[in-house]
Structure 1
Amino acid sequence: MTTQPPEADRLHVLLNRLLRSVLLPEECEQLAGAVRELEQRYARLTHIATVACQQTDALWAWRADPDPQAALTVHLAAEDRIRDLEAEVARLTAGQCTHTRAMCEQHHTTPVAGCPYPRCRAARDRDQRAATA
């Protein structure tokens, strides 16, 4: 039984075959696909590095000459975000994450029997317990 070599080894094999001019047509397609994937990864990492450098430069510039108004704006934005998150957490039932709550609310506003999301299961179970009590 033959196995495919790991990605890095496979690239080295393809490059070696290319340099020796013995690359098969399907190997040409594999190599072209790998090169495109590496180009995309390089572009993404370059963008991330550029943004990080810009943010670092802005931070160092601000530390050299702090702007009280900018600091207040950032602080107020952070307080607003904290309030939003606290409100979101307050809406959740115990053990529920924001994703399932949002999905359930997209589906319907009141709990519905048979819904797979925890909010509906908890409400349905609560209603059943109340009916039998």
Structure 2
Amino acid sequence: MAAMVVVLASLALAPSAAAKLLPHFDARVAGPGERVAVTLGSGVELFPAPLHVYLVPVGRESARNWHIKTVRDGPYGFIPPPQRFRFRVPAVPTGRYTLAILVRTNDGTWHNILKGLWRAPNLAPYLILRVRD
């Protein structure tokens, strides 16, 4: 019974944790070679480290071409919020990009906790980076 309560609680927590984690770019437009900052929100401590962060074309969240950061846990065994990092925009084709943040699940598979969130009109301004020439 206790195990079932834990499972149900974790299922209920997952969507709200992803929403709290919601990263945002400090710039909406950047070119290859320019530095951009990303801030991960207060929900970041709810996910097990490490988190692998990729810059991916909008609509292709399964792409893993451009790894930009591995977020590791702090001295107390969790990722302290808020987590802010900078990355240099890689040489990518012009277009709209978002982040894929992969977290390892209990069964050992990797799951993108941001998959599809860029489609939400209220979240898109924070989750989309337009890369120009």
TM-score (norm 2): 0.25
**Larger strand share, 1 or 2:** 2
* Greater relative contact order (CA < 8 Å, ≥ 6 in sequence): 2
TM-score by length of 1: 0.25
Which structure has the larger Rg over C-alpha atoms?
A: 1
